[in-house]
A and B are shown apart, each in its own frame.
Chain A
Amino acid sequence: MNGFFSPAGFFTRNETLVALVILGFSCIATVSDPNFLSITTVSDILRASIVLGILAVAAMLVLISGGIDVSFTAVAVSAMYMTTTFTLAYWPEMPWPLIFLLSICIGGLLGAINGIFIAWLKLPTLIVTLGTLSVFRGFLLTFVGSQRISALPPDMRGFSRLMVARGTTEGGSFYALPLAFVALIFVILLTWFLLNYTVLGRSIYALGGSVESARRIGINVLRIQFFIYVYVGMLAGLAGIIHGSMSRMADPFSLVGHELSVIAAVVLGGARLVGGYGTLTGTLLGVALIVLVQNSLIVVGIPSTWQSVAIGLLILIGTGVPAWQAKKAAAEAA
């Protein structure tokens, strides 16, 4: 791995590529629509990145450890919907921090189920999480409920009205940054600390590098893997309840189906599927790019029907170029 500041490393990093694409995209967008570059757009994009961002951090952690998780959307939506129905049934006045805690705990429990199959039974992660994706969602829709609930507990609605910043620009357009954004910042800081300054975090990288080597230097692989999936479940629970509060509706059909765009964001940011590599900066840039493409493709003159093509091509180019460079470098070294 090249150092961040060495020129060769800097220009071939995914982070740099994605940042340049974002910059280019914004320039073209500003030229075709001068209103694009405004605080309203920025706050819209930040708001849209909250749920996607938390889920992406979770997905990144799994990728670093050398696995892949596609069930986190089902975990998120299950935790959110179960929490909402439980709260409405037993304690509608529950304050929002408790509601959030409950959702995080349910998410952690569901994550533990993934952890049991993956860490303990050693089954392939993609297959396990494909299975639990349908199990969680099927369970939720069969036994908990399949109705959209718009009469949320009052404190959940209250949470969605809490803002960090709000106001009106001189042009008269409205902007607002909800408190939920702080949750994203918190998740990023916590995960950053965990990954870079704890033995646990370094073990996750070691696991992704090579499970066998990690085991031989004395890392308890089972415990680390189990922790990863519980932590991912908790983050998903948090993302789910934020999604529910912000859309002011508990919709059991939402979120599931978006897991691939989350993974796309993480992969664009340079995390490698084989594990051992991935950065928060890259992941967040990837999230920003996906959100930009989802919301503002029309501004640069591409009809929104081409959105999937654009995201697909971004994934292929964003992962193909580094893969090809790595292959070339390996060929030269040999």
Chain B
Amino acid sequence: MTSNRKTSTWRQAPEFRLAIIAVVVFAFMGMLSPERFLSEQNLTSMAFQFPEFAILALAITLVMMTGGIDLSVVGIANLSAVVAALILTEFAGPDLPMQASLLWFGFALVASLLIGAVAGVLNGALVAFLGLPPILATLGAGLVFTGLAIALTGGSAVMGFPEVVAVIGNTQVLGLPTPLIIFILLAMALHLLMTRTAFGIRISMFGTNPLAALYAAVDVKGMLLKVYMLSGLFASVAGMVIMSRANSAKADYGSSYLLLSVLIAVLGGVNPYGGYGRVIGVVFAVLSMQFLSSGLNMLQVSNFARELIWGALLLFVMTTNTTFWNTFRLPLARHKK
């Protein structure tokens, strides 16, 4: 994993630059409005806000490592949330006793994770067996997933859950918000998977050079299936967090999260051509984005200006990273075989 890096010292790593950006943004916002930005209330609310799109960014990071992209994460998140919500409203109204609603909640969770995994396998099959370019496969499949969620609900929000559902999104454990704990666990799991397992090393190998991976007898199809399945699973976890926080599910929740999570992955130093990416970089990128957007919110900057700043930040980081990426650049037509 670290073998394909030319940087000799850790200070030259893109992750180090990101850490500096995150700290600078935090310090800057803290100086501009210390009493509000640094208040406990703001810090807690930030910790509740970012995990949902951060988890989606983790999903995209994993797929990007193979040189692909998953444009269907938001569709999967919404579809699994809608299915879970329909199960909950159908069988477990708000009046059900605790035990019974807990049981149905568990069932809904399993169902939604299952849907995420199946949707991911479908993406993976399109990419691995049909040989579709990942952009197209996940774009088309994403439309199908979103469309199914619309068709299931008629386009309106599903609400009226038992109270247990709020546990995922709105409680704290040992002073830490539950969504944050879920994100930390997933980020650590992904980090270990990518750096400490043979599977992870095969992923970066395939991302660096698909042909070499094939000749090294890597089961490329099986690997791609698993990668997209994991991405789908992560997306459905994000869907559960969104559902729990919004206390409802809808086919078009979080549609701006797609751009945001691709942006975070790229900002985090993941090479969109595959082969290089570190979870810690993505974490720093998430933090920078959240500090920036909360800070701008306090300064009463409009949502539109925030969009402008996000885009500009992406272009800026990309431009400063150019020299770094050009070293590892592969021919664009990797799927032309």
Contacts and interface: CB of A to CB of B under 8 A. Distances in A.
Interface stretch (B137-145, B197-205, B234-242): B137-145
A215 interface: no
A305 interface: yes
Contacts of B337: 330
Contacts of B259: 130, 133-134
A126 B314 contact: no
B311 A309 contact: no
Nearest to B316: A131
A39 interface: no
Given A126-B135, A211-B332, A312 B302 contact: no
B307 A312 contact: no
Given A142-B302, A309-B143, A326 B131 contact: yes
A210 B333 contact: yes
A286 interface: no
A136 B139 CA distance: 23
B141 to A, nearest CB: 7
Contact of B144 (A117, A133, A267, A313): A313
Task: Specify the main secondary structure of chain A where it touches its partner.
Answer: helix
B308 A138 contact: yes
A316 B155 contact: no
Given A122-B322, A130-B262, A305-B155, A273 B135 contact: yes
Contacts of B273: 124
A151 B177 CA distance: 50
Chain A interface residue number, banded? 35 or more
Interface in A105-122: 117, 121-122
A137 B304 contact: yes
A272 B265 CA distance: 26
B144 A312 contact: yes
Contact of B311 (A121, A131, A275, A311): A131
Interface stretch (B17-25, B35-43, B146-154): B146-154
Interface stretch (A165-173, A178-186, A238-246, A317-325): A317-325
Contacts of B151: 303, 305-306, 309
Contacts of A66: 332-333
Contact of B308 (A68, A135, A307, A309): A135
Interface string B311-335: 1101100110010001000011101
B130 interface: yes
A315 B139 contact: yes
B322 A305 contact: no
Contacts of B132: 316, 319-320, 323
A274 interface: yes
B257 interface: no
Interface of A: 66, 68, 117, 121-124, 126-128, 130-142, 146, 210-212, 260, 263-264, 267, 273-275, 303, 305-316, 319-320, 323-324, 326-327, 330
Given A126-B69, A264-B140, A312-B142, 18 more contacts: A117-B319, A123-B322, A127-B262, A130-B263, A131-B263, A134-B308, A137-B307, A260-B143, A267-B136, A275-B332, A309-B147, A312-B145, A314-B140, A315-B140, A319-B132, A323-B131, A323-B132, A324-B131
9 cross-chain pairs, A with B, having the tightest CB-CB distances, nearest first? A138-B308, A308-B147, A312-B143, A134-B311, A309-B147, A141-B304, A315-B140, A312-B144, A135-B311
